[in-house]
Amino acid sequence: MISLTSPVEIWAHRLPAWLKLAALSLATVCLFAIESPAVLALAVAAVAGLFLTGGRVFLAEGFRNLRILWTFLVLIAVWHGVTGQIEAGMAIALRLLAAVALANFVTMTTRLGDMIDVVSFLLTPLRRLGLSTRALELAIALVIRFTPSIARKGALLTQSWRARSPRRPGWQIVMPMAALAIDDAEHVAEALRARGGLE
Amino acid sequence: MERNIALIALFAALVAALGLVPKLTLGFGVPITAQTLGIMLCGTVLGARRGALAVLLLLALVALGLPLLAGGRGGLGVFAGPTVGFLVGWPVAAFVTGLIVERWRSAPLALVAGVASIIGGVVVLYAFGAVGMAVILGKTIPQSALLVTAFIPGDIAKAVLAGLVTAALAKSRPSSVLSRL
C-alpha cells in the first residue's frame, strides 16, 4: 500500500515524528488565533519556504496535495468579493492554506512506521492499565492488508459487469463488494481463532 | 472477539476501497463517491458501536498518512481543511445509523436501514459538516449549510441504496448483519 510519505528524502524526514506532530499542533493553534492577514501571509510564506527547502520535485508534490483546496479558495474569493469583506476573506484563505499545507508537510516527511510508533507510545498508559492494544494493532494491519484486495475485487466486479451489460456499472457493485468483505472477515476471524485467538 | 475485530477492520477496508473504485454513476449519470454509502453501511450492518469503531479505525489510518479517502486523499492536511466537519461526523453518523437499525425492528429492514441512513448519514452528518465548514471558512452556520445543500440529494439517494444493500446482505449473509442479531 502506498502511503503519502514523499519519496523525496529531505531534512525533515530525519526529525523525530513526535517533534513534528507537537510543532504542528502548536502551529495550528497559533494560526487559528491570528486574525491579521499580514501575519498570516508571513505564515504562508514560511510554510512555502519549508517546502522550497525540499527542492522542486518535493514542492510540486506539495502543490498536488493541495488540489482539493482550490475550489474552496475560489469560493472564499467570490464570496468575500461580493460581500466586500476583503480583509476577512484574505485572512480565512491564507489561514486555510497555511494550516493544510503545514499538516501535509508533516505527513509528507514522516514514514508510516514512525507515525505508528508515536501512536503506540501514546497508548502506553492503556497498556499500563492492563488493557491490551493488540486488537488495535491487528486491526490496523488488517485494513492495510485488505484495502487493496477489496478494491481489486471491486475492479473485477466492474469489469465483469461491463462484459455483460452495455450500461455503465453503478451502485449494483456495492452489494457484492460488501458481501465479499464480510466473507473475508469471517475467514480472517476463523484463521485467528485457529491460531489461538487474541488472548 | 476475533470476529468483531475482523468485521470492523474489513468494513474500514471496504469504505476505503469504495473510495478507490473508479467513480460509480447513479441512474441519471451523476458521478458519486460511494464512500458515504460505505459509512452508512458500517452503521446498518455492524450496528452502532462496531460501526463507529470501523469508521474511527479508518480515520486513524488516514491521519497516519494513508491515502484512503476518495480520490486518494489523506494525511493530516484533511483534518485542517474545510471538510473536517464531515470527517468528525462520520463515526457519529455510523453510530446513530446503527443505533436506529438496532432499536427499530418492527418494519422491513430495507425501509429501516434507509430511514436510519437518512437520519444518521444525512441529517447528523451534515450538521457536523456545516459546523466544521462554518469554523474553518469563518461563515455563520446557516451560510455554510447553504454551501453544502447541493450535495444533499445525492446523499439521500445513497441512503436509499444503503437500505437496499443492507436488506440484500441480510438475505445473503444473515449471520453477519450484526445490527439485527
Whether the CB of A177 is below 8 Å from some CB of chain B: the reply is yes
Among the partner-chain residues A1, A28, A189, the one whose CB lies closest to the CB of B66 is A1
Per residue in A119-168, pLDDT (tens digit) is: 888 888 888 887 778 888 889 999 999 999 999 999 999 889 989 988 87
Residue A113's alpha-carbon distances to A35, A116, A160, B5, B135, in angstroms, are 37, 5, 37, 22, 32
Kindly state whether A144 is in contact with chain B, defined as any CB-CB distance less than 8 angstroms.
Answer: yes
Residue B115 Cα, gap to closest chain A Cα (Å): 18
Q: Mean pLDDT across the stretch B121-130?
A: 94
Same domain, A118 and A160: no
Facing residue for A186 by CB, picked from B8, B64, B176: B176
Instruction: Domain count for chain B, please give it.
Output: 1
Tell me: do A68 and A44 sit in the same domain.
yes
What is the predicted pLDDT for the residue at A132? Answer: 76
If asked whether residues A184 and A112 sit together in one domain, one would say: no
pLDDT band at B148 (very low <50, low <70, confident <90, very high): confident
Asked whether residue A36 is domain-assigned, the answer is yes
User: Which residues form the domain of A148?
Assistant: 130-194
Query: In this structure, are A47 and A114 located in the same domain?
Result: yes
User: Do A117 and A134 belong to one domain?
Assistant: no
- A165-180 core/surface letters (b: 16 or more CB in 10 A; e: else): eeeebbbbbbbbbbbb
Out of A68, A115, A174, name the one closest to residue B165 (CB): A174
Please report whether residue A1 resides in a domain: no
pLDDT at B28: 47
CA distances from A141 to A28, A137, A153, A193, B120 (A): 30, 6, 19, 17, 28
Q: pLDDT tens-digit profile of B149-174?
A: 888 888 999 999 999 999 999 999 88
Q: Tell me if B61 and A193 make a contact (CB, 8 A cut-off).
A: no
Alpha-carbon gap: A147 to the closest alpha carbon of chain B (Å): 4
pTM for this prediction: 0.89
Same structural domain for residues A80 and A16?
Answer: yes
Residues A93 and A187 grouped into a single domain = no
- Classify residue A16: in a domain, yes or no: yes
In a domain? residue A3: no
Residue contact A101–B24, C-beta within 8 A = no
| Contact at CB, A150 and B5, closer than 8 angstroms | no
Nearest to B61 by CA among A146, A83, A177, A192: A146
Distance of alpha carbon A12 from alpha carbon A71, whole angstroms: 29
Domain limits for position B162: 2-180
Which chain B residue is nearest to residue A79, measuring alpha carbons? B139
* Model confidence band, residue B137 (pLDDT cutoffs 50, 70, 90): confident
Q: Tens digit of pLDDT per residue, chain A (199 long)?
A: 577 888 888 999 999 999 999 999 999 999 988 889 999 999 999 999 999 999 899 999 998 888 878 888 888 888 888 888 888 889 999 999 999 999 999 999 999 889 988 988 888 888 888 777 888 888 999 999 999 999 999 999 988 998 998 887 777 889 999 999 999 999 999 999 998 877 6
In a domain, A5, yes or no: no
> Is B30's Cβ below 8 Å from some Cβ in A?
no
Of the three residues A79, A104, A122, the one that is the final residue of a domain is: A122
Give the pLDDT score at A189: 93
CATH number where B123 lies: 1.10.1760.20
Considering the domain architecture, whether residues A67 and A111 belong to the same structural domain is answered as yes
SS3 of B33-50: the string is CCHHHHHHHHHHHHCHHH
From CA A155, how far away is CA A177, in angstroms rounded? 10
